Amino acid sequence: MTKPRIGTFLSVVLTLLVVYALVKWGIPALSREVTSLPFPLPVPGTLMFFYMMLTIIALFLIVTFSDEGLNDFLRPVKKLLRGGYTKILRAVVLTAIPAVIGWQVYEITVPKVEVPSSLRIQHPSSNFPKSFEDKKNPIASLTAADVDAFIEQAKANEVQFIAQVQEDIDHWLEEVDPEHVLEFFPQGSMKKLLTEIAAGEVNRETAKAALSEKNLFEGRALYAMNCRACHGDSVAGDGPMADGFKLRPINFTDNGTIETIVEGYTFWRVSNGGPGLPAEATPWDSAMPEWKLSLAEEQRWRIIQAEYDLAQKTPRIPESH
Ligand code: HEC
């Protein structure tokens, strides 16, 4: 049985076409299967260049490996140039090659008018549930009952902390062995509260300020655990992971960010993250995680209070007020 032979020249051309097609369409199609995203991942131009150069080098080595190989490769080329495939075909090929090259050079050099790349809408609200608009931060807006409960806890030296900071506080208690757990806090309002407790006369304003300090401490701790990597210690969007994202984590100290939105919107953004954003928030996808999956509502509010405080900003007041 004789193997059907296609000439060396034709097999070189076919190999180049197959490799090009694999990189151009095969890899994106495979990427869709692997990632199950609704769109294919494109292959960067430099990678295509790399693959094609490697293929050309490999083919060059194969063809020039022996004189027979090279002659085999050149035979159809020579035949064409001698007019062996009719003079018309030769004329067509010899006109087409410079024409195609000329056209490509023209395409590359001619100045183009391009549509400006669309701006991303930072605060798209089309799918923002209106019921969130008036939401108030339950941690930041302390009720009389919250303050009273705190005064009772402080008097009995049994102040409750969130589980995430309790271990550190217990550790500190063991090391320092203070009179009162609230000595942990250096703030003036805490010191004042402790003096007032000792004197047996607690002012509710002092207690409220002290409770607010405690809440901020817990909020900052939760922020450091969950948000700092991206949004940074200084809440300026410069955490250690920030440079890894094309769409940078938001700088909360910038006047155009959390200060321009109502607290309910911030809560919704934190809860739903990048996946919760509507189409207007494209073309760049946000890496912001969907925090409702891993943080309880109360924890999210604590962080938001600390986030505004660290950024020295206040949320926008809802229209209805
Ligand atoms: C993996 C990195 C990452 C982490 C961790 C992260 N964020 Fe983000 N965040 C982003 C990115 C990126 C954006 C900007 C894109 C966008 O608008 O969604 C953003 C945007 C935001 C916004 C929108 C601000 C605005 O003005 O529209 C808020 C609020 C926010 N983050 C809060 C938080 C909070 C609170 C946490 C912690 C619980 C957190 N982020 C953790 C990456 C992150």
C-beta of 274 in contact with ligand 1 (< 6 A):
yes
Q: Whose CA is nearest to atom 18 of ligand 1?
A: 286
In the block, tokens 């206040």 appear at: 314
pLDDT confidence of residue 125: 80
pLDDT confidence of residue 108: 92
Backbone region of residue 312 per phi and psi (left: phi > 0; alpha: psi in -120 to 50; beta: other values): left
Mutate to test the pocket of ligand 1, among 122, 125, 223, 250 (most ligand atoms within 8 A of CB): 250
Point out the least confidently predicted range of 43-47, 115-119, 185-189. Answer: 115-119
pLDDT confidence of residue 319: 77
Are residue 48 and residue 89 in the same domain, yes or no? yes
The pLDDT of 159-174, averaged and rounded, is: 94
Mutate to test the pocket of ligand 1, among 225, 230, 308, 316 (most ligand atoms within 8 A of CB): 230
Q: Into how many domains does the chain fold?
A: 2
C-beta of 258 in contact with ligand 1 (< 6 A):
yes
**CA atoms of 282 and 250, how far apart (whole Å):** 15
Are residue 44 and residue 162 in the same domain, yes or no? no
pLDDT confidence of residue 146: 95
Higher-pLDDT residue of 189 and 116 is 189
Burial class of residue 193, CB neighbours in 10 A (0-12, 13-18, 19+): buried
- pLDDT, the chain, mean: 91
Mutate to test the pocket of ligand 1, among 231, 257, 277 (most ligand atoms within 8 A of CB): 231
Residue 53 pLDDT > 90, yes or no? yes
Residue 196 placed within a domain: yes
C-beta of 122 in contact with ligand 1 (< 6 A):
yes
pLDDT confidence of residue 116: 65
Residue 275 pLDDT > 80, yes or no? yes
Are residue 251 and residue 291 in the same domain, yes or no? yes
For 282-306, what is each residue's pLDDT tens digit?
777 789 999 999 999 999 999 999 9
Closest CA to 226 of 284, 290, 176, 276: 290
For 124-166, what is each residue's pLDDT tens digit?
888 888 888 889 999 999 999 999 999 999 999 999 999 999 9
C-beta of 307 in contact with ligand 1 (< 6 A):
yes
C-beta of 137 in contact with ligand 1 (< 6 A):
no
Query: Do residues 239 and 251 lie in contact, with contact meaning Cβ atoms separated by under 8 Å?
Result: no
Residue that terminates a domain, selected from 109, 141, 158? 109
The pLDDT of 186-215, averaged and rounded, is: 94
C-beta of 226 in contact with ligand 1 (< 6 A):
yes
pLDDT confidence of residue 117: 65
From ligand 1's centre to the CA of 290, what distance in Å? 9
From ligand 1's centre to the CA of 2, what distance in Å? 67
pLDDT confidence of residue 279: 79
The pLDDT of 10-31, averaged and rounded, is: 94
Q: At what angle do helices 263-272 and 297-311 cross, to 10 degrees?
A: 120
Are residue 167 and residue 18 in the same domain, yes or no? no
From ligand 1's centre to the CA of 305, what distance in Å? 15
Closest CA to 9 of 57, 54, 73, 56: 73
The pLDDT of 164-179, averaged and rounded, is: 95
Residue 1 pLDDT > 80, yes or no? no
pLDDT confidence of residue 2: 59
The percent of residues in the chain predicted with pLDDT above 70, rounded, is 97
Q: Which two tokens stand for residue 311?
A: 């950024």
C-beta of 313 in contact with ligand 1 (< 6 A):
no
Of the ranges 38-47, 137-146, 270-279, which is most confident? 137-146
Q: Whose CA is nearest to atom 37 of ligand 1?
A: 227
Question: Is the whole-model pTM more than 0.75?
Answer: no
Are residue 104 and residue 139 in the same domain, yes or no? no
Length of the chain, in residues: 321
Residue type, 280: E
Query: Do residues 226 and 303 lie in contact, with contact meaning Cβ atoms separated by under 8 Å?
Result: yes
Higher-pLDDT residue of 41 and 94 is 94
Q: Which domain holds residue 239?
A: 130-311
User: Which ligand 1 atom lies nearest to the CA of residue 241?
Assistant: 2
Q: Whose CA is nearest to atom 2 of ligand 1?
A: 230
pLDDT confidence of residue 18: 97
State the pLDDT confidence band at 277, using cuts at 50, 70 and 90.
Answer: confident
The pLDDT of 245-254, averaged and rounded, is: 90
Residue 124 placed within a domain: no
Are residue 80 and residue 34 in the same domain, yes or no? yes
For 253-272, what is each residue's pLDDT tens digit?
998 889 989 999 999 999 99
Q: Whose CA is nearest to atom 11 of ligand 1?
A: 249
C-beta of 289 in contact with ligand 1 (< 6 A):
yes
Are residue 184 and residue 305 in the same domain, yes or no? yes
pLDDT confidence of residue 138: 92
Residue 32 pLDDT > 90, yes or no? no
Are residue 24 and residue 103 in the same domain, yes or no? yes
Are residue 295 and residue 207 in the same domain, yes or no? yes
Point out the least confidently predicted range of 54-63, 105-114, 157-166. Answer: 105-114
Residue 262 placed within a domain: yes
C-beta of 227 in contact with ligand 1 (< 6 A):
yes
From ligand 1's centre to the CA of 116, what distance in Å? 26
